[in-house]
Amino acid sequence: MEQGSIPMEQGSIPSSKVLSVKPLRTLRPLFVSSAQAPPLFTSSPSGPFPPGFTPFYPFCSNAQSPQPDQMDGVTGHAGSSRKRPPGKLRKVAKKSVGSRNAGVSFTVNHGNAFVRNFIVRCNPFSKEDGNREMVEYVLMTFDAVRRRLSQVEEAKEAPNGSIKRPDLKAGNVLMSAGVRTNMRKRTGVPPGVEVGDIFFFRFEMLLVGLHGQSMGGIDTLITRRGKVEESLAVSIVSSGYYDDDTEDKDVLIYSGQGGNPISKDKQASDQKLEKGNLALERSLHQANEVRVIRGMKDPSNTSVKIYVYDGLYTIKESWLEKGKSGCSVFKYKLVRLPGQPSAFADWISIQKWKAGLSSPVGLLSQDLSAGAEKITVSLVNDVDARGPPSYFTYSTVLRYSKSFNLTNSSFGCNCHKACQPGDLNCSCIRSNGGDFPYATNGVLVNQKPVVHECSPTCPCFPNCKNRVSQTGLKLKMEVYKTTDKGWALRSWDPIRAGSFICEFAGEVVDSPMGMQGTGQEDDYIFDTSRILDKSNKWNYEPTLLNEEIPDESAENDNIPSPLVISAKNVGNVARFMNHSCNPNVFWQLVQYEHNRESFLHVVFFAKKHIPPLTELTYDYGMSQFETRSKRKCLCGSEKCRGYFG
DNA sequence: GCTCAGTCAGTCTT
DNA sequence: CAAGACTGACTGAG
């Protein structure tokens, strides 16, 4: 498959082989009407808008969204090919029941957006039976609260003592606030959860109704057969705590529960045919569908465990055998039902690719970056016979033609180790409003106008946790060809929400205006002044944690000037990221110094947990002006605006 | 730098 | 209500 690295220098291959690739980006240069206009302005379609902007929102086109169903699966990867379960969306009923009951359940009289949002979404109906939107909402809310609790704990500012387990605390907060879904237990798929979805905490699976135990590996459902009540197994988690056999992608040999010594001074014991084990035995005879969740190590951080929903299995056999401790252990053989999208199987394939035991179909180049990145970037085309993308120079950094003067430069901290969360003597932390912007594992806590990172000029250690975006690519990326959207970007590694993905590298240009009319249309423009739809809030909700709503107006006054970047001739993997109206990635401005001058960077972070081989997309936003170049959006999401650009 | 085993506080369901 | 289910972040040895 490997055909050597793709040419990075012009002239090394015949020009006939440099294909004119279909534009990935359909951004068009735009005029900034007012120098005073805040560049980071975001707004709902109803405004308000700042002076100098004329917003254009083609939201009305939802009903005639040009997204054909047959687009599902065309790219042949997990992200776009997953099938929505045959849902009982019951939209009409949901609306009427929800609006009638919501006010009864929640008589909170807060006028804030979260409470309104919360009442609409977390109505009794959507708590019992979910959908994709509800599942994503619950997961985003959980992680935002968890990140905030983690941030507060690390700064040792926790108001009610220490929070050793922010995941459990966040789970507790959401449970008591009723932010959960699919509470009605069921066999089969909880609506809104998709095969291949990944989870970083047991609580996440509990909150979306995938697995209803905060610790237990076997979840059961009590059923009635005539007068007899009995429990069936509905989902299991294979976590590595017992000796399960997880070698086969379609078969799982699962151990029953119990018998493991809880502490060092306790003895192992024989497992008993009771509780979960009994339920599994009944499910063997009932042959009901059992959800299987496979826990495994995060390949890019082995101290982190990830749970992968691998779809429905049925139990084919059970037996009793002697475990390593010499005690009896129940074993259950589960076989995956055919016709489901691949999930765990992808993880096995990726392992083999990484180990060099096999290659993905259509591999054109081992490293698109030609050594520029610390980790290789694969180039794959398994949809047609064409070659690599058109020529560009791979650069990992943003190139400024002139310095970018920022009025609020602070020129670094004086910390001499790693900067410590909660240390208000650190000027970099003070620049971030006192909150350390990143929590454990380097996840961004909140979106904000600008994140201030420590710089190479700061005396703190290079491993200071406030340099997340400067450490280079950490994820194994793949640039791959789609059938309808040109080239696209995805990761072989799973990505946790809030994780750093990459910077938008390229050349800073004065204004996209220069390109107009020259016939040199630039489809690789990134412009911070484009309007984003922020209806899906990513940040944590202060009212859930009884916190005051912070006043960010002061911070907004210091928003830097618009930043326009072209990645047409120079760029990194970010130039291959496509637009989506329901994206899994967002961008964030990050500022740090170099040679005593401050520079802005556009940095991408994961909005949700992203399974391997899922296309990475972000919202390109809307030009403030009506332009001729608005393009049909091919994102395929339910809330697709129809057009973008 | 990396992996592994050990430690321990922690929360839901039955 | 107590028992039982096992996690996740961290620490220190190898």
Q: What angle do CA A583, A587, A590 make, to 5 degrees?
A: 165
pLDDT for position A199: 98
pLDDT band for position A30 (50/70/90)? very low
Tell me how far the alpha carbon of residue A263 is from its chain's centroid: 36
Q: Give pLDDT tens digits for A260-293.
A: 887 767 788 999 999 999 999 999 999 999 999 9
Q: Which nucleotide is nearest to A161 (CA to C1')?
A: B9
pLDDT for position A1: 36
Distance between terminal CA atoms of chain A?
36
Å between CA of A344 and C1' of C4: 30
Statement: residue A46 has pLDDT above 80: no
Cβ within 7 Å of nucleic strand B, residues: A 162, 164-165, 168-169, 171-172, 175, 206, 212-215, 220, 264, 275, 302-303, 463
Q: Which of residues 160-219 of A touch strand C (CB under 7 A)?
A: 165-167, 200-203, 214-218
pLDDT band for position A381 (50/70/90)? very high
pLDDT for position A410: 56
- Average pLDDT over every residue of A395-421: 76
Q: Give pLDDT tens digits for A162-186.
A: 899 999 999 999 999 999 999 999 9
DSSP states along A475-528: S-EEEEE-SSSSEEEEESS-B-TT-EEEE--EEE-S-GGGGTTTT---TTEEET
Q: Give pLDDT tens digits for A242-254.
A: 999 999 999 999 9
Percent over 70 (pLDDT), chain A: 76
Distances A261 to A241, A242, A257, A321, A331 between C-alpha atoms, Å: 11, 11, 12, 17, 18
Q: Give pLDDT tens digits for A111-126.
A: 677 777 788 888 889 9
**Phi, psi dihedrals of residue A238, rounded to the nearest 5°:** -100, 105
Rounded Cα–Cα distance for residues A555 and A431 (Å): 10
Percent over 90 (pLDDT), chain A: 57
pLDDT for position A7: 37
Q: Give pLDDT tens digits for A575-629.
A: 999 999 999 999 999 999 887 788 899 999 999 999 999 999 999 998 776 665 6
pLDDT for position A182: 96
pLDDT for position A520: 58
DSSP states along A147-208: HHHHHHHHTT--TTS--S-HHHHHHHHHHHHT-----S--SSPPTT--TT-EESSHHHHHHT
Statement: residue A302 has pLDDT above 80: yes
Å between CA of A154 and C1' of C2: 34
DSSP three-state, residue A112: coil
Å between CA of A432 and C1' of B4: 37
Q: Which of A415-429, A500-514, A577-591 has the highest mean pLDDT?
A: A577-591
pLDDT for position A577: 98
Looking at the C1' of nucleotide B13, which residue has the nearest alpha carbon? A213
Q: Across all residues in chain A, what is the average pLDDT?
A: 80
- Average pLDDT over every residue of A366-390: 95
Statement: residue A527 has pLDDT above 80: yes
- The model carries a pTM of 0.82
**Phi, psi dihedrals of residue A576, rounded to the nearest 5°:** -95, 0
Q: Which nucleotide is nearest to A239 (CA to C1')?
A: C6
Q: Give pLDDT tens digits for A76-96.
A: 233 333 333 332 222 222 222
pLDDT band for position A557 (50/70/90)? low
